A and B are shown apart, each in its own frame.
Chain A
Amino acid sequence: MHASVLSVLLLQIFLILALSRIMGTLAARIGQPKVVGEMLAGIMLGPSLLGWIAPDLWAFLFPPFSKDLLNVLAQIGVIFFLFLIGLELDTRLLRERGQAALIISQLSIIAPFLLGAALTLFLYPRVFNDGPHMNFTTVALFMGAAMSITAFPVLARILTERGLQRTPLGALAITCAAFNDVAAWCMLAFVIALGRAEGLVPGLITVGLSAIYTAVMFFLVRPLLKRLEGLYERRGSSDQVILSLIFLLTLLSAAATHWIGIHALFGAFLLGAIMPKSSRFLNFVTERLEGFTVLFLLPIFFAYAGLRTQIGLLDNSHLWGLTGLVVLAACMGKFGGSFVAALASGIHWRESAALGILMNTRGLVELVLLTIGLQMGVITDAVFAMMVIMALATTAMTTPILHWVYPRKLLEAVIARELDATKDFRVVVPISRPESAAGLARICAALAPGGGSGKVYALGLQQATIHETLGITYPQCDLASGEGLRALLAETSNRGITAEPIAFISRDIASDIAKAARAKQADLILMGYHKSFFGEAMFGGVVHRVLTGADTDVAILVDRGLGEKFKVLVPYQGTPHDRLAVSLVRRMAAHPDISVTILHVVPPGKASDSRAGAAGIRKQSFPGSVEIWVVEDVGPIDAVVQQAGDFDLIILGLSEEWGIQSHFFGLRAERIAGEWPGSLLFVRKHAPLTSLAGDEGLWLQNDPPLESQASR
């Protein structure tokens, strides 16, 4: 390479990387994805800005001979970028998300595809010409594909930046975008094959070779990649040979598809898509490839695309009108298709709208597709400029409109709710008597339906004998020896819950329960209680000491024959303990065999003011069905006992006077327990009451007030 060529190239790359970084940072500052700034940087370096305001400088910085070199670097960048996109594609998502994801994905492709193709009826006689690759069919299919694309990486970045990736909405959007990716690249491969094929026979040869290539990738290359993964697992991350092999395979696959006639990008994408998806191996490859590709090669691609973007071609109102039409059609097709499909799938309008907005993000992937179209001669320069503006506009509008549809406060509440619902709920269950096991296991199953979102630690403690306490002997505790523990493990196992047994000999059972809960970062200590309420405390006051001493929420089950299916009543007066009770039944409400009713007792004439006490509880925050009753009664305890007739379990937040020996569970709790024969679950929130008074984290401040005002 001639020294001056190298100097020019290095200067160009320096400029491109510097401007790209600056614009990306500025975009991030104003709440936009960085890709918007990077795309703008590319356009700024092209004829649309630099070439317009300083043509001589532009001609010096980007002389025609250097463009081919930039093009090669840009193409290599896009090849590895598409490999990374394929790598991120997890086909299990498509299989696991169910029908809603399938239908939304499908409609979010079909609607913009048809609208893009229909728009071509209007654009074709105006901004296309009868060039060799611009026949109507090829152009209509290309425009359809260009309209229906979603930028998977930009979408993922927006979801992460907004904290949406762990919500059902985020998961659905990612799934649909992944499906879109696969479908859009397949469509484009078809369009390219159609555009390049000169006659039926070459077209059929391309299709045949593509089928052979795909078969080779799935049946020969994929097993090879699995062996590479195995090799990596054995040798570790220091092995550069594996990485070199992956690079070689990427280039080979890209070259194969280029030779077949369906563009080099497909080879890279497919190789990424069939790579083994074990997280360690995936991280190993991604970490080594992503930085160089995204920070170095992609900005060069943006610049190359920018050099080919001539906004100046749109120099009259007619062309700007057409540009507006293209943007409108793109938004209507993508947003409308996703929105309607999501609504039809039973998704709330706000989330449907958010999904539509997210799917409308096109970003970099659109730019890749448009560059292919321009290189193939399927679109003209003016159409390229229009579509680049559309890609920029749809990407830039995503975040602000998402903010508008999904305000930050509401989003935070949703995320908090989701995190609460999906969190690995940990329960420590101390057990000594086998007869407690069934009831406790039932409550565990109710709190973590299916056992999928919970973890149960079965704690079998044996009181140390005097000899053991004095250290004379300290035998290993045999897990099997505790009848209670054995019974609990059997009962949880019967309900599909894997309980982790913990057994040891304890000098101070109450203290060790609290310590075990702390060590396991438990959310709840769930204990049984069988003694008569007004008698002496059982376990030598263990329950009382756990209630007063543990720094974890505590629930005490008084099992009076609780069945597998049960109806739960939660008296609610707004204390922190009542709120804990409501948060627990919110988990239970997801269980199909459990029906939940929240009872808010208010003084006569105050039912309409019940918002003050029950603000924040709304039906929608419950995963299953729930009834909320507001009753007026002078005596809250009488009202609860009166209403509790049909119920199997009352979950009762402890009164604030709990802990006083004369009212072991508090006056209210003890009266209800004494006057009602069913099972009870007493709950106690662990934090000091002063801090609990301001604990609004669990409650949705923006939610509407109590919805069901069915006074009884």
Chain B
Amino acid sequence: MSRSGILYFGSVAGAIVGMWAILAAGSHLRAPHALGGVWVPVEADLPGVVPFTISQSGRFLKLKLDSAKPLTVNWESETTDASGGLTIRLKGEGQDVEVFVPPAESPDNPPAYRFVFRGALNGTWSAVRTGDEPRAEASQTH
């Protein structure tokens, strides 16, 4: 077989094997749980609670409460309890946030997530997601 033939078929074979290996390796990976969206508190122990938005790019999140400057928090850890519920710990700008995600088979529709704030802002909210993650044109992030 000519050198070009070897290159041609070799590259096709390499592409197939390489892609198979990458997809196999990636099948075990988990991306951070999606928290982005517009959240409406259904239960809160904080005064003046209003809908808030979360913009998420993986482990990097911005919480926008009312008209305040967005709060930048990063993903710290994630644990799953026996019932299948998820506890996510976020941290940033002197603020700790714990998010309790109900198990997938939760009877609530939509499921209510519990947000526990510690730091400059203290309190606990239960909130449901009412809309998709807001895009750039609807929110300013600076």
A residues sitting closer than 8 Å to B (CB atoms) are 46-47, 51-52, 55, 58, 62, 64, 67, 99-100, 102-103, 106-107, 110, 113-114, 117-118, 120-121, 123-131, 134, 136-137, 140, 144, 307-310, 312-313, 315-316, 319, 341, 344-345, 374, 380-383
Contact = CB atoms under 8 A, between A and B. Distances in A.
A701 B31 CA distance: 59
A374 B135 CA distance: 10
Interface in B82-117: none
Contact of A140 (B22, B36, B136): B22
B8 to A, nearest CB: 6
A533 to B, nearest CB: 52
Given A121-B25, A128-B31, A51 B58 contact: no
Contacts of B34: 129-131, 134
3 closest A-B pairs by beta carbon, nearest first, are: A382-B57, A127-B58, A380-B57
B137 A129 contact: no
11 contacts: A67-B137, A103-B11, A106-B12, A114-B22, A124-B26, A129-B36, A130-B31, A136-B27, A140-B23, A308-B135, A308-B136
Interface string B108-136: 00000000000000000000000001011
Interface in B50-101: 55-60, 62, 72
User: Which size class do B's interface residues fall under?
Assistant: 35 or more
B96 to A, nearest CB: 18
Given A131-B34, A307-B137, A126 B25 contact: no
A134 B135 contact: no
Contacts of B31: 124-125, 128-130, 134, 136
Contact of B11 (A106, A129, A319): A106
A426 B57 CA distance: 65
Contact of B136 (A99, A113, A129, A310): A310
Interface of B: 3-4, 7-8, 11-12, 14-15, 18-19, 22-23, 25-27, 29-36, 55-60, 62, 72, 133, 135-138, 140-142
A309 B142 CA distance: 13
A120 B62 CA distance: 23
Contacts of A374: 135
Contact of A47 (B11, B19, B142): B142
A309 B30 CA distance: 26
Contact of A315 (B35, B72, B135, B138): B72
Given A55-B142, A130-B31, 4 more contacts: A121-B25, A126-B58, A344-B7, A374-B135
Contacts of B55: 313, 381
B23 A308 contact: no
Contacts of B141: 47, 310, 312-313
A381 B54 CA distance: 12
B14 A110 contact: yes
Nearest to A345: B4
A51 B28 CA distance: 39
A117 B19 contact: yes
B26 A140 contact: yes
Nearest to A341: B7
Given A130-B31, A136-B26, A308-B137, A125 B18 contact: no
Contacts of B14: 110, 114
A380 B56 contact: yes
A110 B140 contact: no
Contacts of B138: 64
Contacts of B15: 110, 113-114
Contacts of A312: 141-142
Q: Which of A62, A130, A136, A137 neighbours the largest number of chain B CB atoms within 10 Å of its CB?
A: A136
Contact of A99 (B4, B29, B62, B72): B4
A312 B55 CA distance: 12
B60 A130 contact: no
B3 A129 contact: no
A307 B136 contact: yes
B137 A64 contact: yes
Q: Which of A67, A102, A128 neighbours the largest number of chain B CB atoms within 10 Å of its CB?
A: A128
A129 B72 CA distance: 17
Contact of B26 (A47, A106, A137): A137
A341 B11 CA distance: 10
Contact of A344 (B3, B25, B26, B59): B3
B22 A130 contact: no
Contacts of A110: 11-12, 14-15
Given A51-B140, A125-B29, A380-B56, A114 B18 contact: yes
A121 B136 contact: no
A121 B56 contact: no
B122 to A, nearest CB: 25
Contact of A120 (B11, B26, B56): B26
A383 B57 contact: yes
Q: Which of B3, B31, B133, B138 neighbours the largest number of chain A CB atoms within 10 Å of its CB?
A: B31
B25 to A, nearest CB: 6
Nearest to B33: A130
A381 B22 contact: no
Contacts of B27: 136-137
Contacts of B60: 127, 313, 316, 319, 382
Contacts of A67: 137
B74 to A, nearest CB: 8
A123 B7 CA distance: 30
Q: Which of B30, B36, B58 neighbours the largest number of chain A CB atoms within 10 Å of its CB?
A: B58
A309 B12 CA distance: 35
A125 B58 contact: yes
A337 to B, nearest CB: 9
Nearest to B27: A136
Contacts of A307: 136-137
A103 B22 contact: no
A488 B140 CA distance: 80
A72 to B, nearest CB: 14
Nearest to B4: A99
A52 B33 contact: no
A121 B26 CA distance: 6
A129 B18 contact: no
A67 to B, nearest CB: 5
Q: Which of B3, B34, B72, B133 neighbours the largest number of chain A CB atoms within 10 Å of its CB?
A: B34
Contacts of A120: 22, 26
